[in-house]
């Protein structure tokens, strides 16, 4: 058995034990405590949002349901936690959705399904065209999608100056840009269409990868990541709006089923309200992080809507067909039809 398999089993056993203990405590005191895992450090925007959610759940269920927060991936990395959600060993999480069990969920970072904040809100907020598709795809995994957490518009961090960054036909092949492993089917063809060389690398190795010159930059983050995670190795930030970064508030279907109808409806209403609040705040958050990048000496390249449309049109025309196998003919046809209008 591999180390990763043993570690995953150990995490599952530990989480199941926590689940059992919290269930006994709930029975004893007439309360339920749900464990919420998220990726970001304490005091980050996501952590504050998680605490808002927890405080409102306690208040609006009159203390019947409480939420205990585990920041900074304390319960395991996001793919491990995703499996634990499916098993009912973790109750809630704010994170990405894994494509391990259904490759069609690569839709969550499909390039240029949103090009600005208005189109992102329309597509990805609760009830939106793409939100509804993701919700249906996740259900068979025994996971409920409660709400999206709008993390921001995606961009690219590069350790060097970038010549002619607004031209989709420019040759940037001397720059090797990291694509995250599960994003290869979508973002490798995207970046290659925009003229860059690509390679894969896990998140934890990015900083060292740039420092040592193994890579020249990375895609798959938002301005907050450039400030918080890549400080000191970014020379140029390109706000190419390649994807809208969503971290999802997910729930174990088993955990939700253990609650009363009233408390489930209350939690869903809170999640929906906070999701809308976050969508309304995310543009200002992105802009504040872009200002921090500028203040630290990073060259920040932003794009007008027309300039973004030029990039989006090139990717949709030439790169999207290379992604069809990842999401399947039916879903690809839906997306093509939607964005042709």
Question: Using CB atoms within 10 A of its CB, is residue 212 exposed (0-12), middle (13-18) or buried (19+)?
Answer: exposed
Q: Which of 113, 109, 220, 96 is nearest to 149 (CA)?
A: 96
Q: What does the pLDDT look like over 24-57, one tens digit per residue? A: 334 333 599 999 999 999 999 999 999 999 999 9
CA-to-CA distance for 254 and 259, rounded, in angstroms? 9
CA-to-CA distance for 162 and 179, rounded, in angstroms? 18
Do the bridges between strand 236-238 and strand 65-70 make them parallel or antiparallel, or are there none, so unpaired?
Answer: unpaired
Least-confidence region, from 202-216, 231-245, 271-285: 202-216
Q: How far is CA 309 from CA 16, 114, 206, 262, 299, in A?
A: 48, 10, 29, 45, 22
Q: What does the pLDDT look like over 110-120, one tens digit per residue? A: 999 999 999 99
Task: Specify the pTM.
Answer: 0.85
Would you state the pLDDT for residue 341? 67
pLDDT at 92 over 50: yes
Q: DSSP class of residue 95?
A: E
Q: What does the pLDDT look like over 179-220, one tens digit per residue? A: 988 889 999 999 999 999 999 998 889 999 999 999 999 999
Average model confidence (pLDDT) across the chain: 91
Rounded (10°) angle between helices 129-138 and 329-340: 170
Query: How large is the average pLDDT for residues 161-173?
Result: 98
Helices (H), the chain: 3-29, 45-60, 78-87, 117-124, 129-138, 184-193, 206-211, 223-228, 253-257, 261-295, 305-318, 324-327, 329-340
Q: DSSP class of residue 112?
A: T
């Amino acid at each position: 058995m591999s180390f990763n398999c043993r570690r995953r089993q150990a995490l599952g056993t530990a989480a199941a034990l926590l689940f059992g203990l919290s269930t006994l405590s709930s029975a004893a005191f007439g309360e339920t405590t749900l464990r919420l895992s998220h990726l970001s450090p304490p005091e980050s925007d996501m952590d504050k949002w998680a605490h808002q959610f927890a405080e409102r759940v306690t208040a609006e269920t009159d203390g019947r349901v409480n939420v205990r927060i585990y920041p900074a991936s304390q319960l395991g990395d996001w793919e491990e936690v995703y499996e634990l959600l499916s098993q009912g060993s973790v109750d809630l999480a704010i994170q990405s959705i894994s494509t391990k069990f259904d490759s069609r969920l690569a839709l969550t970072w499909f390039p240029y399904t949103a090009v600005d904040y208005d189109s992102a809100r329309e597509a990805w907020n609760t009830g939106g065209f793409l939100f509804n598709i993701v919700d249906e795809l996740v259900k068979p995994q025994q996971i409920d999608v409660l709400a999206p957490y709008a993390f921001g518009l995606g961009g690219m961090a590069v350790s060097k100056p970038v010549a002619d960054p607004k031209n989709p036909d420019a040759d940037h092949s001397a720059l090797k840009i990291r694509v995250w492993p599960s994003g290869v089917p979508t973002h490798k063809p995207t970046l290659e269409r925009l003229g860059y060389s690509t390679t894969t690398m896990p998140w934890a190795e990015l900083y060292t990868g740039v420092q040592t010159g193994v890579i020249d930059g990375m895609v798959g983050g938002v301005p907050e990541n450039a400030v918080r995670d890549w400080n000191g190795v970014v020379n140029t930030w390109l706000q190419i709006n390649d994807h809208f970064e969503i971290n999802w508030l997910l729930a174990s279907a088993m955990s939700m089923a253990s609650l009363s109808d009233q408390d489930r409806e209350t939690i869903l209403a809170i999640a929906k309200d906070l999701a809308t609040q976050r969508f309304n705040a995310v543009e200002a958050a992105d802009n504040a992080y872009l200002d921090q990048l500028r203040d630290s000496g990073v060259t920040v390249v932003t794009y007008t809507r027309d300039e973004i449309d030029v990039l989006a049109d090139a990717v949709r025309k030439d790169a999207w067909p290379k992604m069809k196998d990842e999401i399947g003919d039916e879903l690809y046809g839906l997306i093509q039809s939607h964005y042709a209008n």
